[in-house]
Structure 1
Amino acid sequence: MEQPVHHFSELFEQLGLRSDAESIERFIQLHSPLPKDMPLANAPCWNEGQSDFLRESIEEDADWAEVVDHLDASMHKTA
């Protein structure tokens, strides 16, 4: 069975955050760039549940992993 494809906005919904394009852009601008050596899940902007979800998505190579990687790249990108 093929893994579902999740959109960036769905990840924000899963994290309990506003998921419209403007809110996503604002969130990333507000909390970026993360230090190069800081894993996404360790960023101070997440609560414990959000952090666990992000960490487990990558560790378990879950169907969310690709979009979490996209968020990780977005939040580590320097201007």
Structure 2
Amino acid sequence: MIMDTTQNDLTHLFQQLGLGHQPKEIEDFINKNKIKHHVHLADATFWTPAQRNFIKEALNEDAQWSELVDQLDVLLRK
């Protein structure tokens, strides 16, 4: 059994989503893309279909990314 030792942080989450992952790029993305309280994160209009699927899978399967996806959700609602 091989253990995945990849460090999971917002930088890596943004890489997984195919987004710019430098600190300034992450900050700009969060500042530009806000979600209303009644909109589910995966239903936000700015995701591509692949990004939307990744987010849904991360949350539904309680995958290694789910905690970071939750963190991103909070940041996009501030």
Displacement after TM superposition at 1:76 (Å): 1.1
Question: Alignment partner of 2:31: what SS?
Answer: helix
User: Is the Cα–Cα contact under 8 Å of residues 28 and 74 in structure 1 kept in the other structure?
Assistant: yes
2: CA distance between counterparts of 1:18 and 1:60? 25
Which residue number corresponds to residue 65 of structure 2? Answer: 64
Equivalent position of 1:11 in the other structure: 13
Higher relative contact order (CA 8 A, sep 6+): 1
Is the CA contact 1:12–1:19 (under 8 Å) kept in the aligned structure 2? Answer: yes
Alignment of 1:1-79 (within 5 A): 5-32=7-34, 34-77=35-78
The 3-state SS of whatever aligns with 2:28 is helix
How far the C-alpha of 1:4 sits from its partner, in A, is: 5.5
Segments of 5+ residues of structure 1 without an aligned counterpart are none
- Residue by residue over 1:29-73, the C-alpha shift from the partner in whole angstroms, topping out at 9 and shown as x without a partner, is 0011x1101111111110000001001100110010000000000
TM-score, length-scaled by structure 2: 0.90
SS at match of 1:62: coil
Matched residue type, 1:60: E
- Measured in 1, the distance between the counterparts of 2:41 and 2:5 equals 23
TM-score by length of 1: 0.89
Identity rate, percent: 37
Could you say what the CA RMSD is over the residues aligned between the two structures, in angstroms?
1.5
